[in-house]
Amino acid sequence: MRAYRLPAFGLDQLQRVDLPEPKPGAGEVLVKLEAASLNYRDLLMAQGGLYRDVKLPIIPVSDGAGTVVAVGDGVTRFKPGDRVTTLYKSRWIAGAIRPEWVGAEPGGPDDGVMRELACFDAYALAHAPAHLNALQASTLPIAALTAWHALELAHVTSGQTVLVLGTGGVALFALQFAKMRGARVIVQSSSDEKLERAKALGADVGINYVRHPQWSPLVLDATGGRGADAVIETVGASTLRQSMDAVAMHGFIGLVGFMGGNEASLTLTQALLKRIHLQGISVAPLESHERMNAAVELARLEPVIDRVYGFDQLRDAFDLMATGKHFGKIVIDFSK
């Protein structure tokens, strides 16, 4: 079967290889993978910058979707023909994550989805929403679930305001989910064209942070001086202080990314006096994934896909990810 391996760090090291077809053991599900989607962590892993130790060689990319081919002994959750997505935290079923579950993650440290067939534990998969094809479903495990969980933890309700930083996968899912909850959404981007596209998805206010590098006062202006009830902080150190300026009293900042650096200087008095709730978020358990998928199906939400590449174009897809110019998700179609 076709697969990719990374024998050494660096995008130039990506190798197309042929691997033997796996067979499911007890408690496992054999999946024919049909699509994958890229996340920033996939780029970090391939470049050797992931925050976890990774043993090489490794099959890259965390998120995928496909169809069940066979199941091992004892599996009752799935049957051949079921359409599924992967689960990023593959041992986290419910409740708070435990230390012994950390690190069981496809695409590093575990082998990822860039292979035509793969065996997964039956509880490391979720049923895909019925209305989505494999390309769309592959975008859900990290980006959508992170956005979903952030809004759940923020208890976003109708009439509140959510500030979304950027127009990548997590940001646009946060926009779509916030609108599903009846919230107003402020989106910031470096591109007026991207802001117009965000408004077409339902964004109420767009802020160009290149033209307005001090953008937090604009958020306050757009909220009558109150600030945003929730901030989906996808950037990290370089924007966190402004996010704290822009959030409302008793507001929530969901820290989900660190592309702008991972060491930030905070004004503790501001956090104390505003009663800011700063929450680190790294996706969510299977129970949240299944609840999200049900909501996606009920609302018939369609993920935003920027570009679709063929299986042999993985390097091109990574190159686009590295530029940061994409709007939404970058997807790999295994049939192309």
100-142, pLDDT tens digit by residue?
787 789 999 999 999 999 999 999 999 999 999 999 999 999 9
Label the pairing between strands 184-189 and 205-208. parallel
State how far the alpha carbon of 95 is from the alpha carbons of 18, 67, 256, in Å. 39, 28, 19
> What pLDDT is recorded for position 258?
73
Output phi, psi for 102, to 5 deg.
-70, 135
Q: Residue 54: what residue type?
A: V
In the chain, ranges of CATH 3.90.180.10 domains: 2-139+303-333
> What pLDDT is recorded for position 235?
86
Q: How many angstroms separate the CA atoms of 63 and 328, rounded?
A: 15
DSSP 280: E
> What pLDDT is recorded for position 232?
96
Output phi, psi for 308, to 5 deg.
-115, 125
Select 2-139+303-333's CATH number: 3.40.50.620, 3.10.20.30, 2.60.120.560, 3.90.180.10.
3.90.180.10
Q: Give the length of the chain.
A: 336
> What pLDDT is recorded for position 260?
67
Q: Which parts of the chain fold into alpha helices (H)?
A: 40-47, 134-137, 145-154, 169-180, 192-200, 216-222, 237-246, 268-273, 286-299, 314-323
Contact 118, 63 (CB under 8 A): no
In the chain, ranges of CATH 3.40.50.720 domains: 144-280
User: Which residues, at least 6 apart from 131, have a Cβ–Cβ distance to it below 8 Å?
Assistant: 297, 300
> What pLDDT is recorded for position 261?
67
Three-state DSSP class for residue 195: helix
Q: How many CB atoms lie within 10 A of CB 177?
A: 26
Q: What is the CATH code for 144-280?
A: 3.40.50.720
Q: Which residues of the chain have pLDDT under 50?
A: none
State how far the alpha carbon of 52 is from the alpha carbons of 42, 69, 108, in Å. 12, 31, 8
Helix (H), strand (E) at residue 67? strand 63-71
Token pair, residue 308, equals 């679709």
> What pLDDT is recorded for position 113?
98
